[in-house]
Each structure stands twice: as C-alpha cells, then as structure tokens.
Amino acid sequence: MEKSSISTEIKIIIKNFFHLAFGELASKAFGFFTTIYIARSVGTERFGELSFLAVVYSYFSLFANPSLDMIAVRELAKGEYEENSIVSTMFILRFVLSLASAIIFLIIGITVFNSQLPLMIVLFQAINFFLIPLSLEFYFRGKEDMKWIAVMKTLSSVILLLLTLIVITSQDDYIFLPLLYAVSTLAGTMLLFVKGFRKHSKFSFTFHFPLCKWMLQESLPLGISSFAVLIYYNIDTVFIWKFLNPAEVGLYTAAYKIFFVFSILNVFMSALLPSLSKAWRERKDDFYAQLFTVSKYVYVVAAFLVALSFYSRYIIENIFGHEYLDAQLVLRILLITQAVIWFFAPFGHPLIAMNRQNILLKVSLFGATINVCLNLIFIPALGINGAALATLATEITVGILLFGYFYSKRNVLSFKLKFIPKESIVFLLCNIIFGELFSIIIQYSLLSIISIIVVNIVLMKYYKYFNIYQYA
C-alpha cells in the first residue's frame, strides 16, 4: 500500500471517528444531563439502587452479546463472508442468548433481590434484553458507515432525556427509568433497522450453523475478556452495596458517571478497528503508521485528564450538588485512572485487529482477579475511596502487562517502539504544572479548566498536531 493509500485510510478513520465522536459526545451530553436530573431528583439512596441494578444488568447483557459485535465488524471489514450470513447469524445467536439472559435475570431478581429492589423495576429492566438482537450497529461499523450510528445514539439519548423530564417528577417514579431506557433504545434501534434494510434491500434471512458455531468460538475469548473488564469496572459497586449502603453506591456512581464521560476512547478505537484489521492483513507497516498517528492524540488526552483531576471538588459539586461532595476524592482517583487507560490504549485495542484476542482474555482475567482481591481489602478499610484505588491499581497492572507483551514480541510482530512520542512527556509535565498553577492563581473554576485546554492547544500547534496527515 502506497503513502497515498495510507493517507486515504487515515482520512476514512478520521471521518468515521468524527461521526462516532459526534454521536457519542451528543449521547453522553444528553445522557449526562439525564443522569444529573435523576441523581438530584431521587437522592443518593435511590440513585444507588438504580446503579446497582444497572451493574447486575450489565453482566447479563454481556452474556446476551459476548462481544459478537466486534467479530462481526472485523469479518464485515475483511469481506470474507456474505453479509446475509453474518447478519442472520448475529440475530440468531443474540436472540437465543438474550432470551436465556432475561430468564436468569428475572429469576435472580425476583428471588435474591426481592427484599432490596422493587419487583416492577426488575421487570422493566428485563425488557431491555429483547432489544439486543435487533441492533444493526455492528453492520454499520463493519461497512464503515458511522453517520447513522451517530444519529441513532443522539436520537436515543434525546428521547430518554425528554421522557425522564416528563415522567420522573418524584422520588418514587425512579422505578420507571428502565422502561424509559427501553423505549428510547427501541427508537434508535428501529432507525438503524430501517436504514440497514433500505441500504441492503436484497437481504434474506439465512441460517448457517457452522458460521454460528465459529463466530461464537471467536467471540468467546473477547466475551470472557469483556466480562473480566466489567468485573473490575463494576464489581466495586457490588461490594460497596454489600459492605456499605445504597447511599455510598450513589456517591460512587456519581463520580463514575463523570469518569465514563471520557470513555470516548472506545469510540476512537472502534473507528480505527476496520482500517487496522485490513492493514494488518495487507501490510504491517501501514498498521503501525496508523497506530503511531493515533497514539499522538491519545496521549494528549491522557495528559489533560491528569490536569483535570486537580479540579475534582469543583466538578462534582457543580454537577451533582453539595449532597455528592463526599465523592470528590473518588473522582480525582478515577480521572487519573482514565488517563492511565488512554495511555496504554495503543497496546490493547489493536490486539483485536491482530487476531490476538486470547492475549486480551488472559490479561483481563488476571486484572479482574487482582481487582476483586483489592476491592475486598480496600473497601472495608477505605470505603468508596478504596474502590477507586483498586480500579487505578488494576488499570496500571493491565497496561503494563499489555505493553510487556508487545515489547517481548517486538521481533515476531515487527514491533517498533514508537507508540510513545517524545513530546508526550512535555504534554504531561505542562498539564501537571499548569493544572496546579491555575488552581492557585485562578483558583478552582471553569476558567482554570479552559486555561489548561488553551495550553494544550498551543502545544499541539507547536508540535504540528493539527496537520493530521503529516504521518501518512
């Protein structure tokens, strides 16, 4: 592949990223406003109950879709299987798994959590399982047509916000939130469903058992890996619920919601996955060229998150209110954790494109084990701050292991240790220095945060980061 071809691929990646980023930012913005309204309306205890239920649902929803989407995206990008076969297989597998998940979820919800959660909220949450098989988001990702995904995410989040503002008028109305989420998700799902079938008018439903079996086998390592990641992202909520109380869960969740605002990294890497998969198959140099270009911007965000952690008190108090102020230290730790995640991203996500998801599985399982042990030690001793420290320690451990794999296999993979640009150290130091300096001079305010952003823009201009095709 020539230099011009690499440039074309990077342009596609950037276009896809901006489509996905728009959808993700819009959905997160509207979703964040929804979360703030809910948290302020229902109080810390009921907000904690909702958060606990969402965590339990997340485990079962992963069983309903054990990273099948990533395999489907990869295979659609490669073009080795018929689109009909992949779409049909995805529907069959996810329908069967979703049905089983819903049944088990209801049994556990009714028998185990009946004294802790209202029955109706459990029933409403179970409805969401039946929307999983209908989603065609994987198809649009695989075909690198991300604009409709952006529209879908934005539409769903706007509908959810409007329904929440209309329906949730008192603390007791919180039981209807899972139902509102199902309605808003269905609206976005149907949009992709209609657009998908219009675009692929010759689609016909076919069943290929060998393909079903193969896709399930391929997704299993990723599914287990994702489950392990869920453990060390969500098991802390379960332990806080067990060792502390729902109000503490509410405080911790408030900080976590801000933490997940910056999880747009997954969108960035999702936009990159189809192109990386093709580059790895065709020419390794193109693979590393794309990854090197992306890593520069990833490390800028990581440095900014470190600076932002100085303003955790200001952020939590102004977003969620004085009632949630006890979560300020949690937020600071989690923002540093998010910076660690961004820093090690170039050594994790590309393994999927390289068909080395088994490495992710092993590392994630080890990380989950470490996280469970640390939570059992830290939460009883340090409360919700201990849970945040356990997450930080886990991400550092996982990141070092992934980096170690790349480095140990540098000869086999023709790996070039250029993912960490030298100027990244400058970005990090400037963000730490100016973050602390502005907090003293300007004090903790929005103006301080804007000033840090300006510093990063100046640095990016100096290092010519706005010339996004210079590395192609």
The pLDDT score that the predictor gives to residue 1 is 46
Choose between 167 and 84: higher pLDDT.
167
* pLDDT of res. 418: 54
Residues 188-212 have pLDDT tens digits of: 999 888 887 776 656 667 777 888 8
Q: Give the range among 180-194, 232-246, 381-395 with minimum mean pLDDT.
A: 232-246
Whether the per-residue pLDDT at 471 is higher than 50: the answer is: no
pLDDT at res. 266: 64
pLDDT value of residue 379: 95
User: What pLDDT is recorded for position 449?
Assistant: 85
Listed range (2-11, 47-56, 262-271, 336-345) with the worst mean pLDDT: 2-11
Report pLDDT for 419: 53
pLDDT at 450 over 60: yes
Q: Around Cβ 40, how many Cβ atoms within 10 Å? A: 14
pLDDT given at position 43: 86
In sequence order, the 6+-apart residues with CB closer than 8 A to the CB of 136 are: 87, 189, 192, 193, 196
Map tokens 């600071």 to a residue: 332
- Give pLDDT, residue 472: 46
Over residues 311-329, the mean pLDDT reads 89
Cβ–Cβ < 8 Å for 141, 149: yes
Binned at pLDDT 50, 70 and 90, residue 128 comes out as very high
**What pLDDT does residue 160 have?**
95
Q: Does the pLDDT at position 470 exceed 60?
A: no
In the chain, % of residues over pLDDT 70: 88
Q: pLDDT per residue over 328-343, tens digit each?
A: 999 999 999 999 988 8
The pLDDT, as a whole number, for residue 200 is 62
Q: Left if phi > 0, otherwise alpha if psi is -120 to 50, otherwise beta: which for 313? A: alpha
Cβ atoms of residues 72 and 273 within 8 Å: no
Contact call for residues 324 and 376 (beta carbons, < 8 A): no
Q: What percent of the chain has pLDDT over 90?
A: 27
Average pLDDT across the chain, whole number: 83
Query: How far from the centroid of its chain's Cα atoms is residue 408's Cα?
Result: 28
The string of pLDDT tens digits covering residues 76-86 is 877 777 888 88
Provide mean pLDDT across the span 414-418: 51
Mean pLDDT of 357-365: 80
Please state, in angstroms and as integers, the Cα–Cα distance from residue 446 to each residue in 260, 314, 339, 432, 440, following that order. Answer: 20, 9, 20, 17, 13
Specify burial of residue 353 (Cβ count, 10 A radius: 0-12, 13-18, 19+): buried
Q: Is residue 2 scored above 60 in pLDDT?
A: no
On the question of pLDDT at 468 being above 60, the answer is: no
Closest CA to 250 of 157, 167, 174: 174
The one-character DSSP state at 201 is T
Q: Between residues 443 and 323, which one has the greater pLDDT?
A: 323
Q: Which two tokens stand for residue 32?
A: 């964040």
